[in-house]
Amino acid sequence: MKRWVVAFCCLLALGQAFGQPDADVVSVWSASRQFHVLSRRALGVPFARAEPGGSSGVFILNPISSPTVASGAKLPLDPSLLVTSCERIKQALLSTLDLPDQWRGAVTIFINPALPDDQTSVPVQDYQPGFGWSYELALPSRLEPRTLLRSVVGVLLMEAANRGAGAQAAEVPLWLAAGLGGHLESDNLATLVLRPESYMNTSRHVDPRADPLRQRFRDRPPLTFQELSWPTPDALAGANYDSYSASAQLFVEKLLALDDGKRCLRNLLGGLHQRLNWQGAFLDAYSSHFGSLLDVEKWWAVATVSYSGQDFASRYGRLESWQRLQRALDVPVEVHFSPDRLPTQAELNVQDIIKTWEPEKASEALQRVAGALAALRLRLDPTLAELLDGYLSIVVSYLNDTRHDQLVWIATGQPSELAALRRNACTQLDAMDARRDSLRAQYLSATEPARAEANVNPFAPTPSANR
């Protein structure tokens, strides 16, 4: 809410300034006319020179009168350089996706000194019948280059996704903006975001501030597909956002590495306006690779293990697999019996969460359950794999159905079907519990067997009883 208030105040102040004949406001358009930057003249004058004689076409900015800029240093935003940076970022994004420049929605950027220099405003999307979509973004007067790059990438993706949309805006997944932003940043941030008091030469540059992506997963594994799809507020705050953005970047780069990865990603962008949620558009675009979101979860789990080099070759034994599956399905909570007593730790099953919790809180808890199940899938005893897949499929389907139900209710005002979705999910989960109970004796009475041999395919069919 604070971000919206700050952005509104910025728009109001600049609007008043334009209404005065002597208003000292700088107005700069980009070369393609898609970007329009507004700022007060006092923010500074750009100074940039191109080094003559260059021929490679790869540009880098080197400071003239200041030492090398530290990785967390804020970049003073100047309108003339900002529109050039926006055009460079757009061209890099179009090149990544093999897209032509066919923009339809203009982007107005307000440089607002009142904004804190560690954030940007939420992009404002506006639809006018007959004129289509336009976008507004408020930026502080100083900003980290990576934050600027990712803000511009986010607006560009909105614009691309809304080109065929009517009055209902397309839903752009957060992981797509974060992943493509990280991908462009790792290529060469300095060639995209221009700094004042700098000159350009044609030397190839590798950004010294960015560690190789693989190093970022040395101590912390990539997030699960569920965690990428529905991140909690904590996952996007502070240092946790670095983990989210690194996982999103790896996810996007793995998608691009598919045989027709660029085409599928283009289809995703082009199909977002045709669906009420991005998950449906994703399965449409990647139908040649994934039949369901559960297939995406499995593919991503294998991809992250292969990339990060973690050793999941050894499986849990039958007893430990049973116990860990039980823990993954239990949601820890604190129970308060009275104000004068300390809370007691308890565990609820998934049905209790679905039946009794508010949808938003239930969604966060169920995302954690789905993530735990997906991570466990790689090391679980093969005889329990089908059971785990059943639980995971129900939880993922419920999350998708409730999110779709909410979007339909917002867009059309039609009555919510949440009660029916809850009943259906709980009925399926009860059936899975009954099936699990029928197997309980053979697992709880089992002694720990030897570990499975190395390099066992975690998604191989369950061995038959005769083997």
- List pLDDT tens digits, range 372-408: 888 787 778 888 888 998 998 899 888 888 877 776 6
Higher pLDDT, 307 or 226: 226
* 3-class SS of residue 174: helix
Question: Is residue 70 a part of any domain in this protein?
Answer: yes
62, 114: one domain: yes
Taking only the tens place, the pLDDT of each residue in 107-166 is 999 998 888 877 776 788 888 888 889 999 999 988 888 889 999 999 999 999 999 888
352, 256: one domain: no
Rg of the chain in Å (alpha carbons): 26
The rounded distance, in Å, linking the Cα atoms of 251 and 175 is 8
The rounded distance, in Å, linking the Cα atoms of 97 and 223 is 24
101, 205: one domain: yes
Residue 72 confidence (pLDDT) above 70: no
Residue 341 confidence (pLDDT) above 70: no
Taking only the tens place, the pLDDT of each residue in 198-257 is 544 434 444 444 445 767 776 677 888 888 888 878 888 877 888 899 999 999 999 999
Query: What is residue 10's predicted lDDT score, i.e. its pLDDT?
Result: 52
Lowest mean pLDDT among 243-257, 271-285, 413-427, 449-463: 449-463
Query: What is residue 216's predicted lDDT score, i.e. its pLDDT?
Result: 73
Question: Is residue 350 a part of any domain in this protein?
Answer: yes
Higher pLDDT, 290 or 307: 290
148, 23: one domain: yes
Question: Is residue 185 a part of any domain in this protein?
Answer: yes
Parent domain of 329: 311-444
300, 316: one domain: no
Arithmetic mean of pLDDT over the chain: 76
Q: Evaluate whether 406 touches 359 at the Cβ level (below 8 Å).
A: yes
285, 242: one domain: yes
Q: What b/e sequence results for 185-213 when a residue is b if at least 16 CB atoms lie within 10 Å of its CB, and e otherwise?
A: bbebbbbbbbbbbbebbeeebebeebeeb
Query: What is residue 339's predicted lDDT score, i.e. its pLDDT?
Result: 62
Q: Evaluate whether 383 touches 462 at the Cβ level (below 8 Å).
A: yes
| Bridge partner list, 126 | 134
Q: Locate 311 and state its tokens.
A: 């050793």
Residue 337 confidence (pLDDT) above 80: no
- Residue 429: which H helix or E strand, with range? helix 418-444
Highest mean pLDDT among 54-58, 71-75, 80-84, 214-218 belongs to 80-84
Query: What is residue 207's predicted lDDT score, i.e. its pLDDT?
Result: 45
Where among 259, 292, 308 does a domain terminate?
A: 308
Question: Is residue 425 a part of any domain in this protein?
Answer: yes
Other CB atoms within 10 A of residue 445 CB = 9
* 3-class SS of residue 207: coil
What is the domain count for the chain?
A: 3
